[in-house]
A and B are shown apart, each in its own frame.
Chain A
């Protein structure tokens, strides 16, 4: 953490003056010396006096504060603009609704490593009288961070959230920054995918805590974000054809019949979706008032599915185009018949194992215990390269439900302990 690092913090904002000022105040209490980092606030089409507030604050801020303004109405373009103007070698992207805790910056910098992305812990905070959806969202976030805390967790591009993440500026420019075609949400997923394709690994820093005051509620999430997610998924899959059949897996034959009907409905009714969704939203709020949790969950699930496919339909146009578009792309990969087998009872040497894992990231891996096949690990596009920790984690996940992986998992622990693998 020498002078050479000079981190730059990039905060995109849009009409959230109060939250931004709270975020800036919290940044002035960092344990990292304030004169050694800069903060770049990029105001995107703000008309609530954000610029004046930031200018006023910059006179008394202990750190260097730069204000940039434009009106692109796109989070991706806003972040790119901030990153281009940054002088630091490390870029830390923060959202304006995050209140960074004093140790956040230092935790990010300590975890920084060559070719590594550091993901912080945005601890969700619920508002005063939370709705069911807000409770659910908090649980979802906490579950996500709990999962990623495991050293054997295999990160995928969907774990990349731009709200609290740091990377080297060189790397960011190398991969070309955020894709400005994706203007709503999910532009971070696309960048995460490109980073993973470039062989970069992710790292979760649980000490980089920022309180995330996300006051989104169900209507906003359902009507806007989910639709934007559908649009973004199409754009991501357009740029990365290998993701197409994974993102839209089982489009024609989903497991549940209701999903199939909803997809059909979305493709023929996306132009008139407003009336349908308004009715459904009203019904959902009534059900919440009556506290019928099961019904509520089902209805939210239905509306979510419908809105997502509306987003897809808007971007593609019609169903036939969509099916053709899917057929152009390669099928999701499966474990190849010649995929390498690792016998857990006789683990190869560390170097050999590394080679095998590198190969099996592309073609898949079969795990065996004394000749009996225990678990298949198909190659997953958009995931980290396989490491030995991942085998451990995958076996443990399977061990909870199945007997044979449980035995294998037990074996791998003792093996790792014996041969002192770097773990």
Chain B
């Protein structure tokens, strides 16, 4: 498939799923599509993907056979890992969804989660700095879902708010523009059997590939992290490249481990000046504190990528900013001096190299506008983090002033995050507990 065609020539790609156990009888009929993106599944786990051609509205059996061969090892690995974990007793979890002015997306995401409340799980929607009350009105329709308003912008702030409001030991996160699979939550929670696992990350697949921006993002492995379950700890991965493990769109966190790891950094994440990176920074601290992160391809979330090219550019820019923003934090707060070395290496080997490839018109290059904007973002990253941090500090100060007047009670005393960790996340728990609804 060539993506280096002009805008008009790129046709939408159909996204479909094939269950390997019954693939002999499968006929994929796709009208109006010339290409298909197939997700292979085996007993609920995602074991592979393939881009195939659609001829006369149908994917040929030969094509399917050929691409199914690539899934063999993932299936074996799945079977081998399946029995390895000792029997697991089901527990309940809190599901936190952070949203900001995306009521239309959220209205499609929530109904698929509702069945989980019947099993004893709780769902919390954190409305982050909304411009109107449409989200509040939407959530009010579902009495079983908790609604929390968080007026301070920032994904880190919103997630922390969700964590503090959650009552269960395990907290799963997903986004408003994502749809969860039916076996998503059990597949995530199963991994907490091992006491050292603090974070479990799932697999993220595209919900639709209708526009050039979406196809390009998926083609470049936007969220792709492979199909093999893997366990990561300080012995087998450098925590500074924790970003390659996954993202906050599909993750679960163990609450008791937060005492050591701390909460999300409020100066990072969408909605702040630093734009991105609160999840990766959190993974870094998880690994650096000796905990384990599991990548679990059985836990599937379908994500709707940005439709517009302009929005994609914004996302790519935020990725560039985010990486260097959280590395700056690691350097300033965690005294991670090796960041200087890794930062320079990554900047040269990735950003500068991408840009040069674009200019030399090498095959496999990314579009110049994206390369440039990511490069630009990377340069701005450290400064943006600094500004964002100062802004959060200022905000914290003003809240402290308010607090003396309102005199808020500590509502979430059971969290018991120790003093040292409050310093780690830059803000204290009591600040997070300010009741603003």
Give A residues with C-beta under 8 Å from B: 123, 126, 128-130, 132, 135-136, 138-139, 142-143, 146, 149-150, 289-294, 396, 399-400, 403, 406, 409-410, 413
Contact = CB atoms under 8 A, between A and B. Distances in A.
Given A128-B420, A139-B234, A149 B77 contact: no
A293 B80 contact: no
Given A136-B290, A409-B80, A410-B79, A294 B195 contact: no
A293 B234 contact: yes
Contact of B84 (A290, A294, A396): A396
B196 interface: yes
Contacts of A290: 337-338
Interface in B208-239: 233-235, 238-239
A126 B289 CA distance: 10
14 contacts: A123-B195, A136-B290, A142-B194, A142-B195, A143-B196, A291-B337, A291-B338, A292-B338, A293-B238, A293-B338, A400-B80, A406-B76, A406-B80, A410-B79
Contacts of B292: 139
Contacts of A128: 420
Given A399-B76, A406-B79, A413-B83, A136 B234 contact: yes
Contact of B290 (A123, A135, A396): A135
B244 interface: no
A135 B289 contact: yes
Given A146-B194, A150-B86, A413-B83, A130 B234 contact: no
A85 to B, nearest CB: 36
A161 B289 CA distance: 26
B338 A135 contact: no
For the side of the interface on B, what is the size category? 20 to 34
Interface in B74-109: 76-77, 79-81, 83-84, 86
B338 A149 contact: no
B336 interface: yes
B335 interface: yes
B80 A396 contact: yes
Interface centre among A126, A128, A399, A410 (most CB of B within 10 A): A399
Contacts of B336: 291
A126 B290 CA distance: 10
A139 B290 CA distance: 7
Contact of B238 (A143, A294, A410): A294
A132 to B, nearest CB: 8
Given A149-B86, A291-B337, A293-B234, 18 more contacts: A123-B195, A130-B290, A132-B234, A135-B234, A136-B235, A143-B196, A146-B194, A146-B196, A150-B84, A291-B334, A293-B338, A396-B80, A396-B83, A400-B80, A403-B76, A406-B76, A409-B80, A413-B83
Nearest to A145: B195
Nearest to A403: B76
Contacts of A149: 86
Given A291-B338, A292-B338, A293-B338, A142 B196 contact: yes
Contacts of A409: 80
B412 to A, nearest CB: 23
Contacts of B84: 150, 396
Contacts of A130: 290
